[in-house]
């Protein structure tokens, strides 16, 4: 029970810090681009499609981190949506904090099997691994989408996204913790397999969104998610070290 409490405690603090940092970066880097794209969408010049994501949205981070993680749908004729300004920012902060805590729980739980994150420097490397698994690898096939952009079937995108995340994580784990040539070859095969198969693509790429705007958005999402994961890993390392002291395992701490 103590172990579960410790993991949740560390994840809550790290997720809170990283989520707030991400929301602040989004307010200046990605939200203005989404607002520009919504002008095209509301003018009826683009394709409306479901922007739901297959993982906790890192708006993401996080979001993250998943297909269209940063592309919040424009307000529809029916249904409630947060008003522009403070309300929208507040809900963005809340969503990013929840997402950050979720990713932090995964990061802490997985890292404990490898002995735990011993400090902020180790945390940065774990954060880079998280970025590679949840943002970089899936983003190669399913780059973040702006409103009014065409997209393939949501279920197919979800399946490919999750398969890519799982296989990338397994491949990186084999490379990092299993030092043998056959396993290294298997690891590389796992990492590249989803990209050989290819991500689901829309039937048409016609969109009113300027190519330059989409490029800016992809870069902004990638950079903000990179910073998010670096902060998340570093804070996990700092908090874990601060409260565990010389203990090598969370089981031995918080006595």
Residue-wise pLDDT tens digits, 139-155: 999 999 988 888 889 99
Q: Give the Cα-Cα-Cα angle 173, 138, 187 (nearest 5 degrees).
A: 30
Retrieve residue 22's tokens.
Answer: 């991400």
> What pLDDT, on the 0 to 100 scale, is given for residue 42?
76
> What pLDDT, on the 0 to 100 scale, is given for residue 222?
96
**Where residue 74 falls among pLDDT bands split at 50, 70, 90?**
very low
pLDDT tens digits, one per residue of 219-231: 999 999 999 999 9
> What pLDDT, on the 0 to 100 scale, is given for residue 249?
56
One DSSP character per residue, 197-244 reads: H-----S----SS-HHHHHHHHHHHHHHHHHHHHHHHHHHHHHHHHHH
pTM, two decimals, is 0.81
128 vs 203, more confident: 128
Residue 7 pLDDT exceeds 70: yes
> What pLDDT, on the 0 to 100 scale, is given for residue 90?
86
């Amino acid at each position: 029970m103590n172990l579960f409490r410790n993991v949740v405690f560390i994840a809550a603090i790290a997720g809170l810090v990283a989520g707030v940092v991400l929301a602040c970066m989004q307010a200046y880097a990605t939200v203005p681009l989404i607002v520009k794209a919504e002008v095209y969408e509301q003018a009826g010049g683009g394709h409306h499609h479901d922007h739901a994501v297959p993982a906790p949205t890192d708006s993401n981070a996080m979001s993250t981190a998943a297909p269209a993680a940063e592309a919040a749908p424009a307000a529809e004729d029916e249904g409630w949506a947060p008003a522009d300004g403070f309300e929208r920012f507040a809900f963005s902060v809340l969503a990013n904090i929840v997402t950050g805590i979720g990713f932090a729980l995964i990061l802490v739980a997985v890292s404990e099997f490898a002995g735990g994150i011993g400090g902020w420097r180790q945390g940065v490397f774990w954060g880079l691994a998280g970025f590679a698994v949840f943002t970089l690898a899936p983003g190669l096939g399913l780059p973040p989408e702006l409103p009014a952009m065409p997209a393939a079937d949501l279920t197919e995108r979800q399946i490919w996204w999750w398969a890519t995340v799982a296989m990338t994580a397994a491949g990186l784990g084999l490379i990092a913790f299993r030092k043998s040539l056959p396993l290294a070859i298997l690891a590389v095969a796992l990492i590249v397999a989803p990209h050989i198969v290819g991500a689901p693509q829309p039937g048409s790429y016609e969109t009113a969104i300027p190519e330059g705007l989409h490029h800016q958005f992809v870069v902004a999402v990638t950079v903000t998610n990179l910073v998010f994961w670096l902060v998340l890993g570093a804070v996990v390392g700092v908090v874990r070290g601060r409260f565990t002291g010389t203990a090598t395992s969370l089981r031995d701490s918080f006595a």
